[in-house]
């Protein structure tokens, strides 16, 4: 049972690490989007086609991040099924 607990701890750490990484990545992209939107609003020399390409890039990036989040959440949910009945560290048996 100790090996299963240790494996569960490693899984929990990986899940927390991924959640933190994704949160940081999304925060970075949101800041980048705001900065570039501000730039695009002021850049009258950028043609409309360039602005449309930029907006498409932003939409594609957001969808990719959301897809990654959904796939990983599904995978984590499936993995958690392997640990049903395993007590968290620090809990009494």
- The pLDDT, as a whole number, for residue 84 is 77
Band (pLDDT 50/70/90 cuts) for residue 92 is: low
Is 90 exceeded by the pLDDT of residue 72? yes
Tell me how many degrees the CA angle 19-23-25 measures, rounded to the nearest 5: 120
pLDDT tens string 25-41: 999 989 988 998 898 88
Round the CA-based radius of gyration of the chain to a whole number and report it: 20
Is 70 exceeded by the pLDDT of residue 49? yes
- Domain ranges in the chain? 2-79
Q: What is the pTM of this model?
A: 0.72
Band (pLDDT 50/70/90 cuts) for residue 7 is: confident
d(CA 88, CA 8): 8
């Amino acid at each position: 049972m100790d090996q299963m607990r240790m494996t569960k701890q490693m899984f929990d750490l990986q899940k927390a690490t991924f959640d933190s990484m994704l949160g940081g990545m999304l925060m970075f992209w949101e800041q980048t989007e705001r900065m570039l939107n501000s730039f695009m609003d002021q850049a009258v020399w950028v043609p409309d086609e360039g602005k449309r390409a930029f907006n498409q890039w932003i939409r594609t990036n957001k969808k990719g991040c959301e897809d990654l989040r959904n796939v990983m959440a599904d995978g984590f949910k499936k993995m958690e099924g392997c640990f049903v009945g395993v007590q968290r560290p620090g809990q009494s048996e």
